[in-house]
Each structure stands twice: as C-alpha cells, then as structure tokens.
Amino acid sequence: MKLSKRDFLRMSAAGLACMPNSLFAQTDMRAVTARVADIQLLPDDYGKTQIWGFDGIAPGPEIRVTQGARVQRRIINELPDPTSTHWHGIRIDNAMDGVAGLTQDAIRPGDSFDYDFVVPDAGTYWYHAHNRSFEQVARGLQGALIVEEPEPIDIDREEVLILDDWRIDPETAQIADTFGAMHDLSHAGRLGNYITTNGVYNLAKSVKRHERLRLRLINASNARIFQLALEGLEGWIVAMDGMPLAVPQPVEGSFLLSSAQRVDLIVDVTAEVGSAGHIVQLSRDESFSQVAFEVTGDGTRARRGTPQPLPPNAHAIPDLGSARDIALLMEGGAMGGMRGAMMGGRMSSMRDMMETGNFWAFNGAVGGMDGPALAELSRGETVRLKITNDTSFPHAMHLHGMHFHEIAADGSLGALRDTTLLDRGEVRALAFVADNPGKWLLHCHMLSHAASGMMTWVNVA
C-alpha cells in the first residue's frame, strides 16, 4: 500500500520498513560515525527528513557476530552535541557500557571513543545513544546487535525487525523539536505520530507458504508500548530480551513489547498463496499491519512441529533463600499524589521540581547518576528487588550489565530479562545475581521519564 501525503496528514500514527545495512564485526577496530544526515523517511511526495544516525542511516548498521566473539567499534562523533553508545542487554565490562556521566565521559563533537568487548550470550540486542538519549534516540541513533548461536537452528531464514515511532511535523517533514516537552516528561513519554519498522512505513516481505522464519523484534521507540498479534502465521516465543525460554511459548492472542524490550519469534507461514500473513499492531481504535509477509508460492517442505528451545545462555541462578531485599518505590508524574521529593540534597516541592524539569522520584528522591547508589552490592550475592509503581503511567525498567528473573506469585523464577514493564499500580519482584562488577544504571526506558527523575544505579564490588 502506498501512503500519500494526504493519507499521512489525515493520520496521527502509522508505519513500517527498509532493511538496514549489515555490518559484520571483525577482529580489528571498525569506525562508525554518528552524524547528521537527510533520508527519505516519509512517503516520496515529502521531502527528506534530517536525522542523527550511525553512519548516517536509521536504523544504524546491523552488527552481527557469533556468541563469544569480540566486538570492536570506534564511535566517531560528528554530531553537534556530545554523545555515547550503550550496548543494550550485553553483559559487558563496565567501562564499555557507554553511559555518559557514569561509566565514561561523553564523546565530544570531533572526538571518538573505542568500544572493545566480548559478547557472552547469544540473542537479540541493540545499541543506542546514551547521552540525552530522550533526544538522540528519537533522532535515530540506534541499531541492531545480533549475536548468533554457535550452531544454526532449524529455520529457513530470519528477519530483524526494529519497531520505532517518530514525532514528525507533517508540514516540514522534519522531526519535531519538542524534546523535553513538559507533557512528555510528566505523562507517558515522547510518543510519535509515524510508526516504522526498519525505518520505512508499511514493510512487506516475500515468503513461501510453510516457510519457518525467525523474527527478531526490537522496540527502539522512546516510549511506545506495542501490542502485537499474528495473523496468517503460527508462532512461538523462543526468547525475550535475548534470553532463550526453556520451553517455546505458543503465541495465542496478543503480546506486549515495551520500549527497549526484544522478543524472538519462530513462525510458520500458514497464509494461503496470494495472500499475506501479518504482524498486527493493535490499538484502541483500529488494528493495522505492522509487517506484511506476502505469500508468493508454496515452500518445498511440509509443516514442521513445535520448534525446539534455543540453547540456553549460562547464568548464575539466584538463591532466594539468601537474597538481599531492596525496595524501589516509583512516584510522581501527572495525576500522581507526590507533593515533593529530595532534590539536590534538600526537600523540594513538586512546583520546584517541575521548574527544573523533574517530575518523578525513586524512594522519595529525584534520581540521577550523581546521587548515591540505590545499593552497594557484593559480587556474587543474590538480590531480590521489589519495584512498586505508585504512578498513573506504565514504566519499562531496565537494568544495565546483568539480567534478572521476574518472580512469579508462587515464588518461582520467570524467564531472564533486562527490561520489565510495570503497569500503573503494579508491584513486581525481580531476582538477580550481582556477578558483574561496576556501576550499573537502573532506569525507566521511557526515556523522557529517565531524564526527569527515574534513574538510579547500583554498585557491584
């Protein structure tokens, strides 16, 4: 379907894709330049849109390596502002985590920084800017980091699908320069009006009937929670946030993918020849195809059975019997009851907080990287982190450097994740082994929320 300028002006949100260039990691340092570029993001009857992209494209070049390989990238900053690059979901050496202000200084315009690390886990990850990320990620500074299993799995092919939304001024075709808007900071975050997959509206892929695909979905948006379903595809969730499930879960109904989360699906094409299967995005008002898989013929193989689990990544298992308990209370935002919080070492009213662009608090204090750690942890100890969302909005909480289990109501350990979504009023307990030394950020990945108080860190020593 071709989207006209008139269609776009009539719509408040829509979208999908053009595949990024592949970049296979080598043993030598390879340069990637963060720079301003003009791309054809909108339909052809619009002009080009100025973005900030790695190597001038959005998404940035795909990095693909095998589990246990070494990744070496020299990030050269040709942007007008300082930047840094975070390797989201990787159990990485702390000095390589890419958090400006905590693990490194921001890369100034004209300078560069060498990232050099080993990827211990197979899975679907991504990389993105981590200095003023609420602006820089929204301008396009993100890309996929794919770590393949040592042995191939039983699929016909795979697709990496980066879901994103952009806030576009339809009159100028430019990204709306409303970064740090009070409504975004205090409500649901910066939501776009133009939804894409791999950077282009209305992505379609050709497939054969009964083909088996691995779909690696990455939510690179600032704040959007995608509610997705399958149509004309039979699917199983085989990994979340890069970590394999012990048993593949059939996709029945819809599933959520919050900002920063990833999901790996194995799907069989069941749609008839001449029709299409779809990843469908569901919303309150309508549903539409996020990605279409157009069936051009019959495959050479018959239908297969339930896929086998992916090989597990080796992680230490938390010992809940000896766990250290830590509480994190999230407060603030619009329509919340918080009247004030500690800020800059003193108690501040909500009005004073708002004047400095802060709307949220962790444990009664406006969060940041210059304050005290949420916890000083001993290497190897088990942590049980209880997070309470006492706000009117959902929050996607991301822990750097380690993965955690969501603890079920019966006390059992759920799948490993690095980002968990808490709805308004929800309480969730997480368990992890603090086995990676360093200063690790813990923050809401609705990036405007992180910029306005929802940020803390833990120190593992």
Instruction: Give the model's confidence band at 408: pLDDT under 50 very low, under 70 low, under 90 confident, else very high.
Output: very high
Q: Is residue 5 part of a domain?
A: no
Q: Is residue 18 part of a domain?
A: no
Instruction: Give the model's confidence band at 342: pLDDT under 50 very low, under 70 low, under 90 confident, else very high.
Output: confident
Instruction: Give the model's confidence band at 75: pLDDT under 50 very low, under 70 low, under 90 confident, else very high.
Output: very high
Asked if residue 40 and residue 74 are part of one domain, the reply reads yes
Instruction: Give the model's confidence band at 23: pLDDT under 50 very low, under 70 low, under 90 confident, else very high.
Output: very low
The CA distance from 228 to 221, in Å, is 15
Domain that holds residue 67: 31-148
Q: Is residue 311 part of a domain?
A: no
Q: Give the end of a domain, one of 124, 148, 172.
A: 148
Given a contact cutoff of 8 angstroms between Cβ atoms, the answer to whether 420 and 396 are in contact is yes
Asked if residue 65 and residue 187 are part of one domain, the reply reads no
Q: Is residue 380 part of a domain?
A: yes
Tokens of 353: 């907080």
Q: Is residue 394 part of a domain?
A: yes
Asked if residue 184 and residue 277 are part of one domain, the reply reads yes
Q: Is residue 317 part of a domain?
A: no
Tell me, what's the pLDDT at 16? 29
Asked if residue 353 and residue 247 are part of one domain, the reply reads no
Instruction: Give the model's confidence band at 4: pLDDT under 50 very low, under 70 low, under 90 confident, else very high.
Output: low
The CA distance from 445 to 454, in Å, is 9
Asked if residue 277 and residue 170 are part of one domain, the reply reads yes
At residue 17, does pLDDT exceed 50? Answer: no
What whole-number percentage of the chain has pLDDT above 70? Answer: 94
Q: Is residue 43 part of a domain?
A: yes
Tell me, what's the pLDDT at 27? 52
Q: Give the end of a domain, one of 148, 176, 208.
A: 148
Q: For the segment 139-167, what is each residue's pLDDT rounded down to a tens digit?
A: 999 999 999 999 999 999 999 999 999 99
- Which has the minimum average pLDDT: 16-20, 135-139, 278-282, 426-430? 16-20
Asked if residue 330 and residue 376 are part of one domain, the reply reads yes
Instruction: Give the model's confidence band at 349: pLDDT under 50 very low, under 70 low, under 90 confident, else very high.
Output: confident
At residue 42, does pLDDT exceed 70? Answer: yes
Q: For the segment 307-323, what is each residue's pLDDT rounded down to a tens digit?
A: 999 999 999 999 999 99
- Which has the minimum average pLDDT: 304-313, 341-350, 452-461? 341-350
Instruction: Give the model's confidence band at 350: pLDDT under 50 very low, under 70 low, under 90 confident, else very high.
Output: confident
Tell me, what's the pLDDT at 348? 87
Asked if residue 358 and residue 287 are part of one domain, the reply reads no
Asked if residue 407 and residue 292 are part of one domain, the reply reads no
Nearest CA among 197, 180, 170 for reference residue 58: 197
Asked if residue 215 and residue 141 are part of one domain, the reply reads no
Q: Count up the domains in the chain and report the number.
A: 3
Asked if residue 219 and residue 184 are part of one domain, the reply reads yes
SS3 assignment, position 135: helix
Asked if residue 384 and residue 294 are part of one domain, the reply reads no
**For the CA atoms of 92, 93, 98, 100, what is the dihedral angle to 10 degrees?**
140
Q: Give the end of a domain, one of 281, 298, 315.
A: 298
Instruction: Give the model's confidence band at 117: pLDDT under 50 very low, under 70 low, under 90 confident, else very high.
Output: very high
Tell me, what's the pLDDT at 432? 98
What's the CATH number where 52 sits?
Answer: 2.60.40.420
Residue-by-residue DSSP string for 338-387:
--EEEETTEEEEHHHHHHTT--EEETTB---SSS--SEEE-TT-EEEEEE
The chain-wide mean pLDDT, for the chain, equals 93
As a whole number, mean pLDDT of residues 42-54 equals: 95
As a whole number, mean pLDDT of residues 172-197 equals: 96
* pTM score: 0.93
- Which has the minimum average pLDDT: 75-84, 262-271, 302-311? 302-311
Asked if residue 134 and residue 49 are part of one domain, the reply reads yes
Q: For the segment 217-236, what is each residue's pLDDT rounded down to a tens digit?
A: 999 999 999 999 999 999 99
Instruction: Give the model's confidence band at 13: pLDDT under 50 very low, under 70 low, under 90 confident, else very high.
Output: very low
Measured CA distances, 215 to 63, 105, 124, 397, 434 (Å): 16, 36, 10, 24, 31
Q: Is residue 24 part of a domain?
A: no
As a whole number, mean pLDDT of residues 358-365 equals: 91
At residue 243, does pLDDT exceed 50? Answer: yes
Name the strands in the sheet holding 49-54, side by side, starting at the edge strand that comes first in the sequence.
Answer: 49-54, 30-39, 70-78, 112-118
